[in-house]
Structure formats: structure tokens, C-alpha cells
Structure 1
């Protein structure tokens, strides 16, 4: 009987030991779950064929979740309910994530394809040494116009949007930083202005644009412009490229007085459980062949110089979407202005939206 009790106790101790080991292995990501990878990205922002290719080549299983705004992404990462391995925030949000200690440093030695990122896309203010982020796509904010309603070349500057010719015929993207920003740029101010008086003056100028605004919308803007529902739209370069491909009467302009230069970037959240898998995925996406395929699918500009060479000439030579270095000099990257100032931007934009309706 005594031997039986000792045997049972031994089995229990062994089981508890195994449970502890499994738990520890799970924590460090070396159980079978280490082949799981959770990606958090914008909707329709990667060629699905590349995910399947990555899974086939590496044996990983990718779970792909999406967000519709940087702020929504930030909240989810801060709450920590899901341990995302890779996320794709925009420039100013990376600075905010860093301040909140929500990002891991990236060991680029384990991402050899990092060498293909052009130097002009590195070292920006939101991550000066690229310790926490690697560029994914980049682009600009500009104006799309339809030559069915607008004479070719008639729109070159932000101020052209205020012309009476476009009454109730302009679509604006629903973004406080972008719309407040274009008004600021049209007045010769920085798109990162924190001066309250300048912000109020920019909003007052926007009020004058109100009669020309047909709608302030998001994804629908692309469809409406393709279908000739409006003469002019303010949107991002990748969206514009898709529009131009679908409707040959459309043209894209980046006003020379200044506009936004934005970057979306790969990051590894602090709560990532599969850092090795994250590094492999980022490296896979930076492979020139994969990056070129992704750029053709998405429509935005790739910062991967080797991938650019693989793109069709009609794409890589299009100065609307791959502007010269000279043209990029007046472009501004958004900075994290802090919650109080961002709220001021949002409040002024909301006032304008109510007036423009």
C-alpha cells in the first residue's frame, strides 16, 4: 500500500513538473504555437498570395487581423488582449507607441533584407535610428481631379480648391490631420503646427471651402471618383493610383507648396510572443520580388529600392507616385503632437464638418 501511495505521489509530481515545463515553453514560444504568427494591419493592405507563400515556405500559420485607424490600433495594443507579433502603424503613431513603451527594438541583423530600404526613407523624426520600425509603404496626400469637369492643369495648388467653379463638387477624405493640414499648408504654415491661433485661422479658411464640399467620406471616395460622381477629391496617393487605373479621366496632383509625406511601418509590439517569426515575416516581405509584387497589388509606393527596379516602367517612372527628391523637399512627415493638441485638431475639424454639411 505504501509503495502504491509513493507511486501515485511520484506520478502527480511528474505531471505537475510536465505542466510547469509546458507552461514555461509556451511562455518563451517554443511549443507548437511558435509556428503561429499574428499580424495586425490595415484592411486590404497586403497581397493575400504573399501570406500563403510565406506559410508554404516557412510552415507558419498566419492569423491576419485588421484595423481602420492608427488610434484603434493603439488602443488594442495598449489593452494587450491579443499578442500581435507584427503591426503596421503610421509614422506619428510610432512615436506615440514608443513613448508608451509598447514596442520592441528590432534587430535588423536578423532581417538581412533591410539593406534594400532606400536611405531617404530612413532616419525620420518618429524613429531617428530605425530601432523600432522598418518602412513598409510610403506616399503623399494630394488632389485627384476629373478632366470631364476640370480643365487639365487647372488644379495645381491647394488654394484652387476654393474656386467657385467647384461648388458642391469636392470630396474630402475624413481625416482631421490631413484636411486641417492642407489648409495650414495653403497658408504657408507647417502641417505640424501647434500654434492655436494658426489652427483657428486654418479652420476659418476651411469654412470658406464648405460650399464646395460635396461630402467628407472615407473608403467610398475612391468609388465615387471612379464613377465620375465628383469633379475633385482630396486623398492619398495609393488610393489615387487605383482611381487612375480605373478611370483614365482622373489625374493626381501634389501641390508644390507642401503636403504630407507619410510612412506605414513594420513594428514588433512589446507583447509579441513570436519575435523570431516576426523577424522572418518582415524579412520575407522585404525580399525585392515579394515587395514588388505587394506594391503592384496595393498601389502604394515601396521604399524598397531593389523592388522598385522590378516594377513595370509605367509604375516606377510615374512621377505622380514616385516623385523626384526635389519634389519631396516640401513634403512633411506628421509628428506626434500629444493628446491635447491632437484633440484640438479633431475638435476644429469636427466644427468644420458640421458647417460643411
Structure 2
């Protein structure tokens, strides 16, 4: 992996969880037996027809490269030549922007993150996907299929694209002994006060919830994204306590790298690609997956229920997760590919090892971003959970 190449896409990743209120589930019609909502009734196509000649995409920067940013980075042009579908891409900066763009009906597919996908499903803006019409789906890692951020009630609403974990990074020369727990950033009287950094997003509340899930079992937290009021209040209280020790909340990857290089930050959350880049720039840092596990992100290509070019959209879904293309995207963006065959196609042969692509024990410890909704997605049938709109409000109070 070339860190500088991944950094061209990181600005978009920084915005993955910076969203506003969760979309309405007023048309959902109730709960399924597993505690999730029932989406508006829609059906997936049973077969594909003639391609329409174009496809309109909403994507994170780095997901639909056509050579305009780097002539050597282009997986759109080969797709266009192969299918005759001309690609028009709208690069989105936030999940909220993606949701709003999908509501216009002007786009055929979107690379939604877990903090947007349930909103798209609940509102009826994303359609069920017939995975049989996506041949490369068969080689997607099983652990990414039928997950709560890309499926509801056993119905798939998209094709997994890639994944990554939120890690704990520390300065090896400043933080001793080496930390192995999120407790190092949440302890009340930290000796690293003022030099701790945290991710600047409401979804970071889930990180506190995850820590409490492991250290305060009496709270009964089973899922860091499914919090009843008592559980939510406990996570918010922990973050308000942490606030006194935080020197900076980061969303700009360059600022985080700079802070760790200078020593202004010595401990906090990060992504693997940021740690790699900081190390390449001679910062004495290390990143670990703490013993409590971590939160993380997994993106899904979803088809609009109003798609004007559904056949080209399906062709794109299959192309973007094909072994070679998925490998190219994963390296460029800095993530683990979704297609297990992609690991044989990466230019940097150690990429999948670095990003733990096939390490299922590793991913079992990662709780991927999922939109918090009133229905408790942890299986509770007689509880009401705090929706993301309240997370946004709480985050403002946490930061003061």
C-alpha cells in the first residue's frame, strides 16, 4: 500500500459518521421477530434486461476513480468499455448528503456506510438486491453477508464493498506501558490529560458504549448501537468525564498525524491507514485493537428504488466487487476488500495481512457502524432505544 494514495481518499472517510437525524421509519409498519423494523414493501428484480448506456452513482472519494485524479488509478474506464454503461459519479462528503441525494431519485446506486444504510432502507429509498444477479457476490466474505447494516428480515439490500476497524493509537516513547484497553482513554485521572484525542462524531458514543458493555455488565448493553435511555445516559456520562482529558477531537486525518508526530497527541482513536502513514513519516506510533474490541465501518453498494438505470447499476455492483477491481479500491482507499479473491490481486502483497482481510477472529471483535434507531436492533422486543437524532444532540453537550 502507498499511504499517500490512500490519503487522497481519507477526507471522505473522515465524514462517514458525521450525520444528522435518523430517517423516519413511519412507513415501516412495525417490527420483525428479531426486533428490527419492517421496510416498505418492495421487490428485487428476478432478471436483468438490456443495459441503459449509463449509470449515476453517489460514492465516497476514491470509490469510483476514472483516472482524472491519477491516470494510473482508473477502474471506471474499463467498466465503461466492457459494459457500455457510462459512469457519472457524484462524490459525497457525508452520509447525510448521500441520504438526501438518494431521495431525489436522480441516482441509481450509492456506496452507503452503516450509519446511512438503515435510513435508506427504512425510507424506501434503497431497494432489495437480488444477489443472484451479482455473480461476484459468491466470493464476498461470509461475515459481511446478511448483516444488520445491509440486510433486514433476511433480505439483502446491498453488496458489501470493504471494511475497517477503529483502533487505539499511541506514542511508543510517551505511553508506557503499552495500552491494551480503551480504559486508557476513558480513565478519569489520566496522566495523559490534554494529550488524548477522540473521533469527532456522534457515532463515537458507541465507542463509550462498547467499553461499558465490557466493563459494566450490569448495564446490560448487548450492542453499542442499541442503547436504551439508561444505557445511553451512562455512555454520555463517560464521554463527558473523558472530555476533561481530551486535547483535541479529530476528523481531519492530517491534523491527527501532525499531532502524533509533534507529541501534542499521544493516545487516541485512529484507523489502520492513518497509523501506517504516521509510521511512514517516522512517527513512533503503534496501533492496536484493544481487548474490548472496537467499533468499525463497512460500506455497502445499494440500488435506488427509483433507479432509472437499474441494469447498469447491477453491472456496476458486480464490477466494483470483482477480485481485481475490489483489490484496487481497497489499496487506494486503505481498507480490507470484501471479495476474498481480491487478496491475490493486490499490488502490495501484504495488504490483506495488514488490514486483516481474512482474519475472521479479528472481525468478530469489531462492531460495525449501524444507524441507531428507536427499534432496538439487539433483539429486545419490549424496549425503546435512543435514535441517532438524540445522539447528535448529546454530542454537542458532550463537547461543551
Common topology (TM > 0.5): yes
Change over 3 Å in CA distance of 1:116–1:284 after alignment to 2: same
Question: What's the secondary structure of 1:317's corresponding residue?
Answer: helix
Is 2:324 aligned against 1:278? no
**Among 376, 379, 388, which residue is 1:342 paired with?**
388
Contact 2:337 2:357 (8 Å CA) reproduced: no
When residues 271 and 240 of structure 1 are mapped into structure 2, their CA distance, relative to the original with a 3 A threshold, is farther
1:146 and 1:251 in contact (8 A); partners too: yes
Deviation at 1:243, TM superposition (A): 4.0
Partner of residue 104, structure 1: 127
1:192 aligns with 2:192: no
Q: CA deviation at 1:175?
A: 1.4
Preserved CA contact (<8 Å) 2:108 2:308: yes
- What secondary structure is seen at the aligned counterpart in 1 of 2:157? coil
Structure 1 window deviating more from structure 2 (54-63 vs 113-122): it is 54-63
Which whole-Å CA distance do the structure 1 matches of 2:50 and 2:144 have between them?
A: 35
Rounded to whole Å, the distance in 1 between the matches of 2:226 and 2:122 is: 21
Conservation of the 8 A alpha-carbon contact between 1:35 and 1:277: yes
User: 1:46, 1:297 within 8 Å by CA — same for their partners in 2?
Assistant: no
CA shift for structure 1 position 223? 4.0
> Does the CA contact (< 8 Å) of 1:90 and 1:263 recur in 2?
yes
* Count of residue correspondences: 319
Following TM superposition, by how much is the alpha carbon of 1:186 offset from its aligned partner in structure 2, in angstroms?
A: 1.7
Counterparts of 1:225-264 in structure 2 under 5 Å? Answer: 225=259, 227-228=261-262, 229-247=264-282, 249-264=284-299
Q: Secondary structure at the match of 1:235?
A: strand
Q: 1:317 aligns with which of 350, 353, 362?
A: 353
Per-residue CA shift, 1:300-339, capped at 9, x if unaligned?
1112100023334422223x64473333333323443327
Partner of 1:25: none
- TM-score of the superposition, structure 2-length normalised? 0.72
User: Considering only CA atoms, is the larger Rg found in Structure 1 or Structure 2?
Assistant: 1
Higher helix share: 1
Match of 2:60 in 1: 42
* Contact 1:242/1:299 (<8 A) preserved: no
Unaligned runs of 5+ in 2: 1-48, 67-73, 214-220, 375-385
Q: 2:76 is matched with which residue?
A: 51
Q: Distance in 2 between matches of 1:197 and 1:336?
A: 19
C-alpha separation between the residues in 1 aligned to 2:283 and 2:356?
A: 16
Does residue 268 in structure 1 map to residue 303 in structure 2? yes
Structure 1 counterpart SS, 2:258 = helix
